[in-house]
Amino acid sequence: MKILFANIGWMKYYQGNQDYDPIRRGGSHPAKRKHEIYNFMPINGIYYGYVRSRGALNLQAIDQDCPGVADRLDGVLVVWVATHPKNGGRRIVGWYKNATVYRELRESKNELRKSYAYNVRAKVSDCTLIPQCYRNRDMAVPHEPGFIGQANIWYPNKYMHIPSVKKYIARVLDYIDNYHEKNEVAEEQARQTDAQEKKRVEKKAVKLVTKYYKSLGYKVLSVEKDNIGWDLNAFNGEESLKLEVKGRGCDDIDVMITRNEYQNMKKYKRNYRLCVVTNALSAPKLSIFYWNKKLNKWVDEENDSVVLDLEAFDYHAIIKSR
């Protein structure tokens, strides 16, 4: 059996680092450079997966009959595992069947993935992502000798002489063989829950920003439903501001803006404000970014050393503080 276990960060959907789906427990690299955030992003019927490795992948450890000069190995079962962000334990989050595993990283040329690399690929029809609520603790990889350790790669075939390893792999194969897509309803419910939480975060963020500007003497009007490229208009008799509000459920300023918002940021630089509320539902903190003409950058009102790293794409822009 050609099988590989790959440890990655924890996400719900692995379709990009979104406000409602930030990557967690994925190592010290910034979210922007954690390539596995796109592991379940379908591109022309293919998933391109990434697992961080300290070097080239050992294809012979997956299949002893693989030629030493081979740069790829087909027909591999790749089991993706991730550490639960709250309860710990490396749980199975999904798998690629009949996957191609590459010895070295490959750079993606697809527009959706930009420069995000991959070392595994498989047909979407051969892959399964387990809904977050069904990632079974009982199927977590044991924390014992012979199993995956500090490295992100585990080659079970090297340890099949250990009874506990052999028994666990048999359980995993049985679990995969008998896994049914009966969780579609649960997955849809999970998506709806995420959407509801996102709305709560956004609503709380707008409320906080409105209250803040009113405390400064502004009259604040909502234009959220008008889809004009910002959420609020603020007037105080001397100036008129256009306020785009972004809410985050965590403390990371990493937000998505639409193409429309991005164009208006450039068009109305002097009067445009990007208001980001982090930890919106627990301990909200407001950060306001404005265009500093002298620095020729978008900076935090309270600390101009906090600069937005803005990258424009075809239909959206990613903004990160640094």
- Pairwise pLDDT comparison (167 vs 108), residue with the higher score: 167
Alpha-helical (H) ranges within 109-258 are 163-177, 184-215
For residue 68, the model assigns a pLDDT of: 85
Q: Is the pLDDT of residue 216 over 80?
A: yes
For residue 22, the model assigns a pLDDT of: 83
Q: Which of 274, 284, 300, 275 is nearest to 251 (CA)?
A: 284
Task: Say if CB 218 and CB 234 are below 8 A apart.
Answer: yes
pLDDT in tens, 55-100: 899 999 999 999 988 999 999 999 999 999 888 889 999 999 999 9
| Chosen domain end from 117, 148, 179 | 179
What are the backbone dihedrals phi and psi of residue 290, each rounded to the nearest 5 degrees, phi first? -135, 165
Q: Is the pLDDT of residue 48 over 50?
A: yes
16-44 exposure pattern, b = at least 16 Cβ within 10 A, e = fewer:
bbbbbbbbebbeeeebbebbbbbbbbeee
Q: Assess whether 252 and 300 both reside in one domain.
A: yes
Q: What is the CATH number of the domain that holds 211?
A: 3.40.1350.10
Q: Is residue 175 part of a domain?
A: yes
Q: What total number of domains does the chain contain?
A: 2
Q: Assess whether 40 and 173 both reside in one domain.
A: yes
Q: Assess whether 72 and 135 both reside in one domain.
A: yes
Q: Is the pLDDT of residue 187 over 50?
A: yes
Q: Assess whether 29 and 165 both reside in one domain.
A: yes
In one letter, which amino acid is 70? A
Q: What is the spatial distance between Cα 200 and Cα 280, in angstroms, rounded to a whole number? A: 9
Q: Is the pLDDT of residue 314 over 70?
A: no
The DSSP symbol for 141 reads P
Q: Is residue 21 part of a domain?
A: yes
- Pairwise pLDDT comparison (197 vs 261), residue with the higher score: 261
**Quick one: pLDDT band at residue 3, thresholds 50, 70, 90?**
very high
| Chosen domain end from 120, 146, 179 | 179
CA torsion through residues 16, 17, 21, 26, sign:
positive
For residue 251, the model assigns a pLDDT of: 72
Q: Is residue 186 part of a domain?
A: no
**Segment 211-222 mean pLDDT:** 97
Task: Say if CB 218 and CB 241 are below 8 A apart.
Answer: yes
Q: Is the pLDDT of residue 313 over 50?
A: no
For residue 199, the model assigns a pLDDT of: 86
**Segment 225-250 mean pLDDT:** 93
Task: Say if CB 319 and CB 255 are below 8 A apart.
Answer: yes
Helix, strand or coil, per DSSP, at residue 147: coil
Q: Assess whether 153 and 202 both reside in one domain.
A: no
For residue 29, the model assigns a pLDDT of: 54
Residues 43, 44, 47: CA angle, nearest 5 degrees: 45
- Tokens representing 69? 């000069």
Q: Is residue 102 part of a domain?
A: yes
| Chosen domain end from 119, 146, 179 | 179
Q: Is residue 185 part of a domain?
A: no
Q: What is the spatial distance between Cα 22 and Cα 13, in angstroms, rounded to a whole number? A: 10
Percent of the chain at pLDDT exceeding 70: 86
Q: Assess whether 159 and 105 both reside in one domain.
A: yes
Task: Say if CB 220 and CB 213 are below 8 A apart.
Answer: yes
**Segment 192-211 mean pLDDT:** 85
For residue 49, the model assigns a pLDDT of: 94
- Tokens representing 133? 């609520």
**Segment 292-319 mean pLDDT:** 74
Q: Assess whether 10 and 138 both reside in one domain.
A: yes
For residue 133, the model assigns a pLDDT of: 78
pLDDT in tens, 129-147: 998 878 888 899 999 999 9
Q: Assess whether 83 and 213 both reside in one domain.
A: no
What are the backbone dihedrals phi and psi of residue 283, each rounded to the nearest 5 degrees, phi first? -130, 75
Please give the mean pLDDT across all residues of the chain. Answer: 86
**What region, left, alpha or beta, does residue 22 occupy, with left being phi > 0 and alpha being psi -120 to 50 degrees?**
beta
Q: Assess whether 120 and 249 both reside in one domain.
A: no
Q: Assess whether 26 and 169 both reside in one domain.
A: yes
Task: Please give the C-alpha separations between residue 65 and each of 79, 102, 232, 267, in angstroms, as whole numbers.
Answer: 21, 16, 64, 61
Q: Assess whether 126 and 42 both reside in one domain.
A: yes
The number of residues in the chain equals: 322
Query: Of 10-14, 164-168, 195-199, 291-295, where does the model show the most confidence?
Result: 164-168
For residue 315, the model assigns a pLDDT of: 41
Please give the residue range of the domain that contains residue 260: 195-321
Q: Assess whether 84 and 166 both reside in one domain.
A: yes
**Tokens 């399964």 correspond to what residue?**
128
Task: Say if CB 154 and CB 146 are below 8 A apart.
Answer: no
For residue 50, the model assigns a pLDDT of: 94
For residue 279, the model assigns a pLDDT of: 87
Residue 316: exposure state from Cβ atoms within 10 A (0-12, 13-18, ≥19): middle
Q: Is residue 99 part of a domain?
A: yes
pTM of structure:
0.59
**Segment 31-40 mean pLDDT:** 77
- Pairwise pLDDT comparison (125 vs 309), residue with the higher score: 125
Q: Is residue 190 part of a domain?
A: no
Task: Say if CB 265 and CB 312 are below 8 A apart.
Answer: no
Residues 165, 168, 170: CA angle, nearest 5 degrees: 110
Q: Please, what's the largest Cα pairwise distance for the chain?
A: 78
Q: Is residue 187 part of a domain?
A: no
